[in-house]
Structure 1
């Protein structure tokens, strides 16, 4: 994959995407079968839905994706005044609200916002714009939202109330310190059953887990630099699936990282939870 992203365990299979090559994948780990679908635009994620098919995050906005028909139907357009923006990462909360972020595809301007898709309607979350949004990840209880400011090297935590409005953000994790200078940039985020937060690290050669107090509990080193996101799946949701990227690597770096862009797995002690379908 050029830019693997958006891994998510749906029923008995892993879904993920290659953003730049505009492709959706479905992997059956038992049979080893791999299906793929071409998307009409850059695609950041797919998530389950209470309606027909899946919800997909394309460059222009969320779409209803019907795998059997290989069709993508727009639900709403996002950032129409920002042609360099695209959707990047997403998650659902226990109420079925779908939280997703945009980013500057040129990775410069602070034009990335976080939106909420709730029962077919899209609204801004109120989170301060940044260049590259990642996550958000939602705690199992639904009361905490973790928003990743990738270029700012921070994870910001917000409260979420029963109506889906967020409170003021506070810094949950900061990777700007000298002791973490070689950790890379925090990328996609995922919460597990105990409220721990798994982060992929772009340029950091690792996935790391932090507990709800922000303490590092697990570090899994991988043989590639750009680790984008972790999903928790498998029969007991104790298998981590990590997507990675090869984009931007030089010929020398690719020669040293022949597995760059591959999908990796490793076991975890704390399982994931079923992904709540979007209420759309």
Structure 2
């Protein structure tokens, strides 16, 4: 087994977050969010972090389109973030995720057709109340699976027929089988369990060697799981709340890890100055580029 410790990214490359999430690589740049204040950031390798959105309210997801723009999910609202003529960022709304009033949505993934798959969270976190939802490019939301308590990271298999999905409070990585012709879930089950003492499964990523990377909240680790559930790589960060992971960079072997300082007092934040930072490491396997989202050609301005 390979064990290593990640390095913290300093300012201005890695601004400190309250709840860093949704690390993404689009082939040229990194993206991530600070979920609670609602910041969205992007950064090219070796460059400074650039704010895309500041103080937008609860932001659970950024998903790039591979052409310099991205989907941003604020609350349940779907927004396209694009550069304007003056190179500033402009948000345009084009729909919502259809969930009951008061429910949240969390992390998600685009499929090979550019549709969004995202999880819902019932406010009381009732066991099994959450759902997996597909939002088509026309904005229609359809329920694909249920029985999820705290929906979190998602990543597709290489052939696009399986969606791996972290249920944080269920302590499992789910596997949804998807019919590529219809784009619907045909069955769901547990890919593998993660014991509570190992941490809470949060963000997911995948590599070209068939490995599944899992950020373990509370454990301060990212682990690579082989298809049979064996752990063969462990990356440790020097703070407990590891939240998401992505593989990318020029050769695909850079690892970006977000972290958080949820529930921290000012004194806690001062005592753990690395909580909420971005961390980097190297992977023995190149990452597998995620499918990119399809954004509408035009949408009205977001108020």
TM-score between the two structures when normalised by the length of structure 1:
0.88
- Aligned match of 1:188: 203
Question: 2 CA distance for matches of 1:198 and 1:50?
Answer: 22
- Aligned match of 1:13: 29
Taking CA–CA contacts closer than 8 Å with sequence separation of 6 or more, which of the two structures ends up with the larger relative contact order? Answer: 2
- Aligned match of 1:205: 220
- Aligned match of 1:2: 18
- Aligned match of 1:37: 53
Question: 2 CA distance for matches of 1:275 and 1:186?
Answer: 19
Choose the corresponding residue for 2:145, options 127, 136, 152. 127
Q: Does 1:236 align with 2:251?
A: yes
Contact 2:97–2:141 under 8 Å retained in 1: no
Q: Which moved more, 1:45-54 or 1:113-122?
A: 45-54
Q: Which moved more, 1:4-13 or 1:221-230?
A: 4-13
SS in 2 for 1:199: strand
Question: 1 CA distance for matches of 2:42 and 2:226?
Answer: 30
Contact 2:156–2:290 under 8 Å retained in 1: no
- Aligned match of 2:172: 154
In the TM superposition, what is the alpha-carbon distance from 1:237 to its structure 2 partner? 1.1
Contact 1:230–1:242 under 8 Å retained in 2: yes
Question: 1 CA distance for matches of 2:66 and 2:110?
Answer: 12
Unaligned runs of 5+ in 1: none
For each residue in 1:174-201, what CA deviation from the matched residue of structure 2 results, as whole angstroms up to 9, or x when unmatched? 123xxxx421111011122233111111
Q: Does 1:46 align with 2:62?
A: yes
Contact 2:26–2:292 under 8 Å retained in 1: no
Contact 1:75–1:120 under 8 Å retained in 2: no
- Aligned match of 1:88: 106
Q: Number of aligned pairs?
A: 275
Choose the corresponding residue for 1:70, options 84, 89, 95. 89
Cα RMSD, aligned residues only: 2.3
For each residue in 1:27-66, what CA deviation from the matched residue of structure 2 results, as whole angstroms up to 9, or x when unmatched? 2232334334225331112212378932112212322222
- Inter-CA distance 100–145: structure 2 relative to 1 (3 Å threshold): same
Question: 2 CA distance for matches of 1:243 and 1:124?
Answer: 30
- Aligned match of 2:285: 270
